[in-house]
Amino acid sequence: MVGILGIGGIGKTTLAKAIWNSIAFQLEASCFLANVSDTSNQAHGLVQLQEILLSKIFGDCRSLKIDNIDTGIIMIMRMLHSKRVLFILDGIDHLTQLETLVGAWDWFGKGSRIIITTRDQHLLTTHRVDSTYKMTRLNHHDAFQLFCCHAFKKEKLIDGYGEFVAQVIDHAGSLPLVLAMLDSDLYSRSESEWIHTLVQYRKIPYQDIQTILQTSYDRLSENEKNTFLDIACFFIGDYVDDVIKMLGRFGSCPNFSIPRLREKCLISEFDRRLQMHEVVTKYG
């Protein structure tokens, strides 16, 4: 079991799809479960995911009808324990999803591969995945290439747009999903439209991006939300120990909330100072 970890929009799903395309044909059976958290939050969502998982492998038939979660677990273990499978679980946000769908390595045949994408380090730690790959932002060269491929439909820059592209990449913080969304918004527009659009981005956050990042915030507890907002507004770049002392005076339990914000990829540390991705502060 391998976890792919990172903030929303950094490319976890894209990387998982690339892995899928590279190795799926090498295994006996495979299943890509997209947007697991969205489905599991629906009525009987986990049972539905169990049914999808089995039907992807054995075909859609009445014998795969699952009455409840426990029955689904037994069926997955019984039917897949000898199969060499590839499963990708995309967008995991709760431990129950992992326990219900890929409980342990011995549920599946030797040589199976389970890929999990998530924004929450603690879920991977608790489920004892074998290794975790933490996504990092694109470097400037790759961000530039990605943007040009989408905005101009070629890897080379159109004359006269260099400064605009640099501004977009800076605004997007080199997050692939943000770049792709802005690409689509700017594609085939005139130079004057680019100028006005970039001004608009600075005034009003691009709504689609805000919606994606809002998901991470909405899943926080009230104490975590308060700590997140305090850091975003007042403490970026400050020493962690100083922030903990400051927030502790107001009873916000920073020793509890700061590690959890770090696990959820909403904050980070460099040289013991608190950091936050600039896109989160712009759109969060």
**3-class secondary structure, 249:** coil
Return the pLDDT at 211: 73
How much is the pLDDT for 277?
76
Residues 9 and 128 in one domain: yes
pLDDT at 158 over 90: no
Token pair, residue 39, equals 């489905």
Task: State which of 157, 173, 204 marks the end of a domain.
Answer: 204
Question: Bridge partners of 87?
Answer: 31, 114
pTM of the complete model: 0.86
* Mean pLDDT across 26-44: 92
Residue 62 has pLDDT above 70, yes or no: no
Q: Where are the alpha helices (DSSP H) in the chain?
A: 12-23, 36-40, 45-58, 69-80, 95-101, 121-126, 140-151, 162-172, 176-186, 191-203, 207-218, 222-230, 240-248, 254-263, 278-283
More confident residue, 239 or 176: 239
- Please check whether residues 145 and 240 belong to one and the same domain: no
Dump pLDDT digits (tens) for 103-116: 998 999 999 999 99
Helices 191-203 & 176-186, crossing angle to 10 degrees? 130
Strand 2-5 and strand 113-118: the pairing is parallel
Same domain? For 101 and 184 the reply is: no
| Ordered strands of the 131-134 beta sheet | 29-33, 85-92, 113-118, 2-5, 131-134
pLDDT (tens digit per residue) in 82-97: 999 999 999 999 999 9
Question: How many CB atoms are located within 10 Å of the residue 203 CB?
Answer: 6
Please identify, among 162, 177, 204, the residue that sits at the C-terminal boundary of a domain.
Answer: 204
Considering its fold, how many domains does the chain have in total? 3
63 or 244, greater pLDDT: 244
Model pLDDT for residues 258-279, shown as the tens digit of each residue:
999 999 988 998 899 999 877 7
Rounded Cα gap, residues 33 and 39, in angstroms: 10
Q: Which domain holds residue 159?
A: 140-204
If asked whether residues 172 and 195 sit together in one domain, one would say yes
